[in-house]
Chain A
């Protein structure tokens, strides 16, 4: 059994989880019928295969297994929520291809496999018949990130003469050049300033749901957690804060940018980008609270963003492609359950109490303020602006004078209703019982914190005056 697909709990589970989606994509390409069913079954098998090792993994090693399971569930949901006109062989096949590639990236403990997965996951967005966007900027962003990562890995392998990540931990392989290239790869892939524009272009010019899946692979954060921090622990202490500042600046920049955006897709992309930049800021805060908050927020952003893009696509299919938030559309009268789902998922993305993001935002803010007292203020400010943008998007799409002229039933179909309900239950139950997720991520966060040994030394307290 090739060692590079080792997964705790059994290698065969890893094989199945990654190979089944690719196999199913091939079947769909050849058979071209019952594509939704095939896609659903393939994603379900992957999810089960990812869940099996999860139970056996120790508390400090379950992060990637959990993320793999999360992505499988997202893909499962995507196959159900995809509107009929989008449910083509190409779309479902592409989604399954992305699933397999993303799982490969999460599972890889080998530099070459990681690079391959990085490139494979972006391929559908270069193929015109697949998910290529109208704009050149998404392709440029993805290409530059792949080139940067490839050069970094070449530098590392040339210096360390090994491709196994476990053998490279703490070695600072390839020096500052490799570190810089890895950071560049993160910046381009994640859409950090100044490489942020491609995300909105991809959301608007490409298919909504597959783009949301690409974005929610969070490959940038994955690279930080999998490579940068473990391999460059010493360098990270000094230089990661720069990436942290860039991430916080990105969160604020796109939050401000979103305030006057009238395209729903671009607006949603900016909000998602701002919240996902917070993940990066938390990972780089160097505090257990910040890292835990980032890991928990990863779940929230992923589920909420895919759900929101899914609902937006459902609205476009029902009510027309050219939705704009420059005026009130009054769609709640036609689709009340979609409206409520949108409201809850949207507010869950920005810290609604009772949802998982309330806990993650709380931890993120504490962690980033602790390590960066001044710049950390940017995070709650950005989150507040994102909340306003989410609310503006909701009110413009769903409230206002009810439009007439629709005779078909426009609210959520049963399969859409169920999958949206699952998403809502996840964010709400996760908010009511957050310790189930927080406790596990906290253990991993402490390992990361110890790895970079950046336990924050409290600034000298001002002398207390006793009256």
Chain B
């Protein structure tokens, strides 16, 4: 392996190694201290950043446009192969750098922010696993491997949404987000299958699989489903405010920076396919426009800082989708990088927002003058009120999904339950029985 290849492998797998290093001893009963975790985290991402800088310098010096590392096939059956290949090219390198830098910053911020928090260790373990998943997704040289990283990002984000597990709301919201992720990821899995079926491969180290016409349209739409779910685009935007239940550092890195842009990255990766399908590009643009409008209107009625920032992120990601649909890939990449940095900063400053506000007012010697005319003032009163109610219910997206998809599914499930219980009346009460029995039931379970 060349120097560049070694660096790429080391950068991608370093967070995964740290995850294993921290979690395995815990399973055996040893928990490292906060200081140790902070030092390991800081050191890891500093070295990763250094390594990436070296990689960038080496690529620039040699004039190469990509580094590819092939480990062969993870597994193979007849003609079907799951290649294990990493690639750092002009598209993925910025995302890799963004992930490494922001993960390190979040780690340093969290060392103080979560000091003495009972879940300190859990947070950092999940942070490292998330970073590994992101780096794997961005550095993957095939859609198969990208899907692996993609799933890891999803699982870690859901576990961090439920970080404050003593309250039921974060846990339930985490479950809801997980359900959205799994439903939309079906598009990714089936899209990858379609690529294998039609072209025999899902690798893109030498260019995308050759798909045209209906094949390109079908694959693009399937991958768009997955991208929309991950990026909280309409009609899946309802999960984003629920995700704000997690700690502020995780909200910053997931929904300000990395996770929410993963969908845009996927679309950037298949942009040549989108260019072959006008209909798919049109759908991408339509979704982006709808999301941008939705996000900006709903964000205006948000009552808390994090939700407001989340919808601001959503708006910008919608605009990115439009840029990608039009074919402005370089603009989209710059937009993503800039947006990620700014939004992360805003999320991290959100807990201090009131303090910042007071400081500003002190500096100017009083309250700021309110804006003379708001956009809403231009609307007729009736329309304004309707729009306010629409925005307050977040575009009724969750209500629509619940009424037309979730509740019918649960109703079918309950009906099947009643059918199953025919002939077994004893279990009708047992299945709906209430809470755990805690009275003196704490017997030791073994020797």
In-complex Cβ contact of B171 among A366, A370, A400 (8 A): A400
**Are A413 and B78 within 8 A (Cβ)?**
no
**Are A359 and B74 within 8 A (Cβ)?**
yes
**Are B197 and A369 within 8 A (Cβ)?**
yes
What A residues does B276 contact at CB under 8 A? 467
Asked whether any CB of chain A lies closer than 8 Å to the CB of B32, the reply is no
Query: Which stretch from A213-221, A234-242, A314-322 is at the chain B interface?
Result: A314-322
**What is the 8 Å Cβ interface bit string for chain B, positions 404-447, against chain A (1 contact, 0 not)?**
00000110111011001001101100111111111101111111
**Are B193 and A260 within 8 A (Cβ)?**
no
**Are A435 and B166 within 8 A (Cβ)?**
no
Asked whether any CB of chain A lies closer than 8 Å to the CB of B270, the reply is no
CB proximity to B under 8 Å, residues A255-288: 256-263, 266, 288
- Interchain CA distance A323-B435 in the complex, whole Å: 7
Count of residues in B whose CB is under 8 Å from the partner chain:
74
**What is the 8 Å Cβ interface bit string for chain B, positions 134-171, against chain A (1 contact, 0 not)?**
00000000001001110110010010001001111001
Asked whether any CB of chain B lies closer than 8 Å to the CB of A39, the reply is no
Asked whether any CB of chain A lies closer than 8 Å to the CB of B179, the reply is yes
**Are A407 and B77 within 8 A (Cβ)?**
no
**Are A263 and B431 within 8 A (Cβ)?**
yes
Asked whether any CB of chain B lies closer than 8 Å to the CB of A135, the reply is yes
Q: Which residue of A lies closest to B437 (CB)?
A: A320
What A residues does B420 contact at CB under 8 A? 197, 200, 257
- Interchain CA distance A225-B75 in the complex, whole Å: 23
A22 to chain B, nearest CB (A): 26
Interface on B for A, CB 8 Å cutoff?
27-28, 73-78, 80, 82, 133, 144, 147-149, 151-152, 155, 158, 162, 165-168, 171-172, 174-175, 178-179, 182-183, 185-186, 189-190, 193, 196-198, 212-215, 276, 409-410, 412-414, 416-417, 420, 423-424, 426-427, 430-439, 441-447
Q: How large is the interface on A (under 10, 10 to 19, 20 to 34, 35 or more residues)?
A: 35 or more
What B residues does A424 contact at CB under 8 A? 27
**What is the 8 Å Cβ interface bit string for chain A, positions 319-358, against chain B (1 contact, 0 not)?**
1111110111110100001001000000100011110001
- Interchain CA distance A359-B179 in the complex, whole Å: 21
- Can you sample 7 A-B contacts with CB below 8 Å? A83-B446, A380-B190, A395-B172, A405-B438, A445-B77, A465-B212, A467-B212
A-B Cβ contacts below 8 A, count: 225
B81 to chain A, nearest CB (A): 11
CB proximity to B under 8 Å, residues A354-386: 354, 358-359, 362-363, 365-366, 369-370, 377, 380-381, 384-385
In-complex Cβ contact of B436 among A322, A362, A380, A445 (8 A): A322
- Interchain CA distance A289-B414 in the complex, whole Å: 35
**Are A262 and B186 within 8 A (Cβ)?**
no
Given contacts A330-B166, A465-B213, contact A137 B442 (CB under 8 A): no
SS class, residues of chain B in contact with chain A: helix
**Are B27 and A337 within 8 A (Cβ)?**
yes
Asked whether any CB of chain B lies closer than 8 Å to the CB of A129, the reply is no
Interface pairs A-B: 9 shortest CB-CB? A320-B437, A353-B148, A320-B441, A406-B442, A399-B165, A384-B182, A317-B445, A260-B413, A438-B75
**Are B443 and A260 within 8 A (Cβ)?**
no
Asked whether any CB of chain B lies closer than 8 Å to the CB of A134, the reply is yes
- Interchain CA distance A43-B436 in the complex, whole Å: 35
- Interchain CA distance A205-B80 in the complex, whole Å: 43
**Are A388 and B179 within 8 A (Cβ)?**
yes
Q: Which residue of A lies closest to B144 (CB)?
A: A362
**Are B444 and A409 within 8 A (Cβ)?**
yes
In-complex Cβ contact of A253 among B27, B183, B186, B416 (8 A): B416
Q: Which of B80, B186, B212 has the most CB of A within 10 A?
A: B80
**Are A319 and B441 within 8 A (Cβ)?**
yes
Asked whether any CB of chain B lies closer than 8 Å to the CB of A402, the reply is yes
**Are B441 and A399 within 8 A (Cβ)?**
no
Q: Which of A266, A326, A327, A391 has the most CB of B within 10 A?
A: A391
Given contacts A256-B412, A413-B446, contact A261 B190 (CB under 8 A): no
**Are A366 and B175 within 8 A (Cβ)?**
no
Known A391-B178, A405-B439; 16 more pairs at CB < 8 Å = A197-B423, A200-B420, A262-B432, A263-B431, A289-B77, A318-B445, A322-B433, A330-B166, A353-B133, A354-B148, A380-B189, A388-B175, A401-B167, A421-B28, A442-B78, A467-B212
- Interchain CA distance A406-B430 in the complex, whole Å: 24
Given contacts A370-B197, A380-B186, A464-B213, contact A137 B80 (CB under 8 A): no
B63 to chain A, nearest CB (A): 32
What B residues does A407 contact at CB under 8 A? 442
**Are B443 and A317 within 8 A (Cβ)?**
yes
**Are B193 and A365 within 8 A (Cβ)?**
yes
- Interchain CA distance A295-B437 in the complex, whole Å: 40
Asked whether any CB of chain B lies closer than 8 Å to the CB of A109, the reply is no
- Interchain CA distance A342-B413 in the complex, whole Å: 24
- Interchain CA distance A266-B424 in the complex, whole Å: 13
**Are A353 and B152 within 8 A (Cβ)?**
yes
